């Protein structure tokens, strides 16, 4: 992508957690103009008041409406496509709504971007798109297929298209961490689906870095992944309680609709052609056409298929390490008591872990000097 300075950007879904993070990042790095396309005029107004920056222009619209995307995209160089329906349970109950936004809406973004002469589009995907078992993941997988098909169908297009895959972005919309923070501060047990469930951990800053990397280094049709560490949900709950120096008490509620025990950032089949780029993985497009006979060779019968890159086999953080990660997040530091904030800079012993429905009492929640 080169320097951000003096460039013009469009962020679809720009009032969401990731959208706001990337808008602030672009402004801090000298962008000439950042356009925000979203459906929520109230969030736009709140964002306008908070930023107070004339370089930000707001467009009320919907990626389901191609014309509204085209109006916002004219004159920009780069598009971050973050608009999505991303809540797994909601998408389970309203799958066609997920299709309209995540699949058809993404096609609208690609068509409008090419018509507007945009240089590059980066589309935000998710680990749930790999071996999907829920409507959210299925529609994000189809979004990736739509991007791939677009690249194949437009080999001479001046618009470069890449996808990036995230694990769980901590403290973003839908993250369990804000819920855990509210529960521990209220003296309630932490509602945990399954303590042995694993999830990737990524900060908003890291997610912005991945998109920047895609703009700078991605080739059309690529799926780019940032390598991430993971932890169990039980250890995440224990780490939140540890930051507040209260015993870990969990209310095990069971797995919700269409959730997985472990998430996957790159499937085994993808890992066979993935390129290791240090902190990132690049999965290049399979650019063969339907004339498969042209691509037949002798093959490698003894070649072993590598393992998928999952939250179960990724580097696993223990409770103390998760506490250190959480203590670095602005959203967590904003609610930690001052004495615990100071302690979070050092090593805090993890509390004992118990499960059940009994909540810590007020004395247990008091800050320990």
Residues 152-192 have pLDDT tens digits of: 999 999 999 999 998 888 988 778 999 999 999 999 999 99
Active-site residue identified among 86, 128, 140, 260: 128
- Tokens standing for 66? 């191609």
**Cα–Cα distance list, 283 to 27, 196, 200, 221 (Å):** 30, 29, 19, 9
What's residue 364's pLDDT?
33
What's residue 369's pLDDT?
23
Paired residues of 264 in beta bridges: 310
Q: Which domains, from first to last, does the chain contain?
A: 8-166 (3.40.50.720), 168-202+228-262+307-369 (3.90.25.30)
What's residue 143's pLDDT?
98
Asked whether 259 and 134 are in contact (CB, 8 A), the reply is: yes
Q: Per residue, what are the HEC states of the chain?
A: CCCCCCCEEEEECCCCHHHHHHHHHHHHCCCCEEEEEECCHHHHHHHHHHHCCCCEEEEECCCCCHHHHHHHHCCCCEEEECCCCCCHHHHHHCHHHHHHHHHHHHHHHHHHHHHCCCCEEEEEEEHHHCCCCCHHHHHHHHHHHHHHHHHHHCCCCCCEEEEEEECCECCCCCCHHHHHHHHHHCCCCEEECCCCCEEEEECHHHHHHHHHHHHHHCCCCCEEEECCEEEEHHHHHHHHHHHCCCCEEEEECCCCCCCCCCCEEECHHHHCCCEECCCEEEECCCCCCCCHHHHCCCCCCCCCCCCCEECCCCCECCHHHHHHHHHCCHHHHCCCCHHHHHHHCCCCCCCCEEECCCCCCHHHHCCCC
What's residue 340's pLDDT?
78
Residue 345, exposed/middle/buried by CB under 10 A (0-12, 13-18, 19+)? exposed
What's residue 5's pLDDT?
84
- Tokens standing for 334? 């904003």
- Tokens standing for 53? 């920056």
Does the global pTM surpass 0.85? yes
- Cα 171 to Cα 173: distance, rounded to the nearest angstrom: 7
Taking 70 as the pLDDT cut, the residues of the chain under it are 1-3, 292-303, 342-369
What's residue 168's pLDDT?
85
- Tokens standing for 269? 């089949």
The answer to whether 140 is a known catalytic residue is no
- Tokens standing for 141? 């997988």
- Tokens standing for 365? 């929640």
Which among 18, 22, 26 is positioned nearest to 166, based on CA atoms?
18
What's residue 351's pLDDT?
45
Which among 127, 129, 149, 125 is positioned nearest to 137, based on CA atoms?
129
In the numeric block, the tokens 């895959």 are attached to 165
Task: Count the neighbouring beta carbons within 10 Å of the beta carbon of residue 365.
Answer: 18
């Amino acid at each position: 992508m080169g320097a951000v300075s003096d460039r013009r950007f469009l962020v679809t879904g720009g009032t969401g957690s990731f959208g706001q993070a990337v808008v602030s990042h672009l402004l801090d790095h000298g962008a000439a103009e950042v356009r925000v396309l979203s459906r929520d005029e109230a969030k736009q107004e709140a964002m306008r008041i908070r930023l107070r920056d004339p370089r930000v222009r707001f467009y009320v619209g919907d990626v389901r409406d191609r014309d509204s995307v085209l109006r916002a995209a004219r004159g920009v160089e780069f598009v971050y496509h973050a608009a999505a329906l991303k809540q797994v349970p909601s998408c389970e109950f309203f799958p066609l709504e997920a299709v309209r936004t995540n699949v058809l809406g993404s096609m609208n973004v690609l068509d409008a971007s090419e018509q507007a002469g945009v240089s590059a589009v980066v589309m935000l995907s998710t680990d749930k798109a790999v071996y999907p078992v829920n409507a959210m993941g299925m529609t994000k997988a189809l979004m990736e297929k739509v991007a791939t098909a677009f690249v194949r169908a437009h080999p001479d297009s001046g618009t470069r298209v890449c996808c990036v895959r995230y694990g769980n972005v901590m403290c973003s919309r839908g993250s369990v961490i804000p819920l855990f923070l509210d529960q521990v501060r209220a003296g309630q047990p932490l509602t945990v689906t399954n303590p042995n469930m694993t999830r990737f951990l990524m900060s908003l800053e890291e997610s912005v870095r991945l998109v920047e990397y895609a703009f700078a280094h991605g080739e059309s049709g690529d799926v780019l992944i940032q390598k991430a560490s993971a932890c169990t949900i039980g250890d995440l709950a224990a780490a939140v309680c540890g930051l507040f120096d209260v015993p870990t008490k969990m209310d095990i509620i069971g797995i919700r609709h269409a959730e997985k025990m472990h998430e996957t950032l790159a499937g085994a089949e993808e890992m066979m052609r993935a390129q290791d780029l240090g902190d990132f993985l690049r999965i290049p497009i399979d650019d063969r056409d339907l004339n498969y006979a042209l691509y037949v060779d002798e093959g490698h019968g003894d070649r072993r298929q590598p393992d998928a890159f999952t939250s179960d086999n990724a580097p696993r953080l223990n409770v103390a390490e998760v506490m250190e990660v959480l203590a670095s997040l602005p959203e967590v530091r904003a609610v930690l008591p001052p004495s615990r904030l100071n302690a979070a800079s050092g090593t805090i012993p993890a509390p004992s872990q118990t499960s059940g429905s009994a909540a810590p009492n007020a004395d247990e929640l008091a800050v320990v000097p």
